[in-house]
Structure 1
Amino acid sequence: MRAEAVLFDVNGTLVDIVTDEQQERVYRVIGHVLAYSGIELRCGPLREAYFATLEQLRARCREEHPEFDAVAVWRTIVERNATGYTRSLSADRLEQLPLFLAELHRGLARRRLRRFPHVRAVLGELRSHYRLGVVTDGQSAYARPELAQLDLLGYFEQVVVSGDFGFRKPDQRLFDTAVHALDAEPDRAVYVGNDEFRDVHGARQAGLRTVLYTSDGNAEGSSCACECTPDHVVTDHRQLLELLTPRT
Structure 2
Amino acid sequence: MRVQAVLFDVNHTLVDIHTDEHRDRVYRVIGHVLAYSGIHLRCGQLRDIYFATLHRQRDQNPEEHPEFDAVALWRTIVERHATAYTRSLPADRIEQLPRFLTELHRGLSRRRLHRYPHVRQVLDELRNHYRLGVVTDGQSAYARPELDELGLLGHFDPIVVSGELGFRKPDSRMFDIALRTLEIAPEQAVYVGNDAFRDVHGARQAGLHTVLYAADGRPDAAGCACSCTPDHVVTDHRQLPRLLASGS
**TM-based fold match above 0.5:** yes
Contact 2:223 2:229 in 1 (8 A): no
**What stretches of structure 1 of length at least 5 have no aligned partner?**
none
Kindly state the Cα deviation for residue 218 of structure 1 after the two structures are TM-superposed.
3.2
Deviation, structure 1 residue 217: 1.9
Conserved in 1, the CA contact under 8 Å of 2:17 and 2:113?
yes
Which residue number corresponds to residue 160 of structure 1? 160
AA aligned opposite 2:118:
H
Write 1 or 2 for the structure with the bigger share of helix. 2
3-state SS, counterpart of residue 6 of structure 1 = strand
Matched residues in 2 for 1:190 and 1:92: separation? 43
Partner of 1:79: 79
* 1:190-205 correspondence runs (5 A): 190-205=190-205
Tell me which residue corresponds to 1:177: 177
Which residue matches 2:123? Answer: 123
CA distance in 1, matches of 2:235, 2:121: 16
User: 1:213 Cα deviation (Å)?
Assistant: 0.2
For 1:162 and 1:48, the matched residues in 2 are separated by 24
Question: Aligned partners of 2:134, 2:38: CA distance in 1, in Å?
Answer: 39
1:224 deviates by 3.7
Residues 1:207 and 1:223: Cα distance change in structure 2 (over 3 Å): closer
Amino acid at match of 1:208: L
Shift of the 51–223 alpha-carbon distance from structure 1 to 2, 3 Å rule, reads farther
Query: Relative to structure 1, is the Cα distance of residues 168 and 226 closer, same or farther in structure 2, using a 3 angstrom cutoff?
Result: farther
8 A Cα contact 1:2 1:244, kept in partner: no
Does the CA-based 8 Å contact 1:194-1:219 persist in structure 2?
no
Q: Distance in 2 between matches of 1:71 and 1:77?
A: 10
Q: 1:234 to 1:92 in 2, by over 3 A?
A: same
Q: Within the alignment, does 1:243 sit opposite 2:243 as a pair?
A: yes
Correspondence list, 1:1-248, <5 A = 2-219=2-219, 222=222, 224-225=224-225, 227-245=227-245
Task: Give the match's secondary structure for 2:151.
Answer: coil
Preserved contact between residue 222 and residue 230 of structure 2 (Cα < 8 Å): no
| Structure 1 pair 46–222 and aligned structure 2 pair: CA distance change class (3 A) | farther
Q: C-alpha separation between the residues in 1 aligned to 2:220 and 2:75? A: 33
Closer, same or farther: CA 96–87 of 1 in aligned 2, 3 Å: same
How many angstroms apart in 2 are the aligned matches of 1:35 and 1:154?
38
Alignment coverage as a number of residue pairs: 247
**TM-score, structure 2 normalization:** 0.96
Aligned AA for 1:5? A
Kept after mapping to 2: 8 A contact 1:195/1:212: yes
Q: CA RMSD in A?
A: 1.5
Give the superposition deviation at 1:39. Answer: 0.1
- Spell out, residue by residue over 1:103-126, the C-alpha distance to the aligned partner (whole angstroms, 9 max, x if none): 000000000000000001010111
Q: Partners of 1:91 and 1:223 in 2: how far apart?
A: 53
- 1:112 is paired with a residue whose SS is strand
Question: Which runs of structure 1 show a deviation greater than 6 angstroms over 4 or more consecutive aligned residues?
Answer: none
Counterpart of 1:178 in 2: which secondary structure?
helix
Per-residue deviation, residues 51-106 of structure 1 (Å, max 9, x unmatched): 00000011110000000000011000000100001011111111100000000000
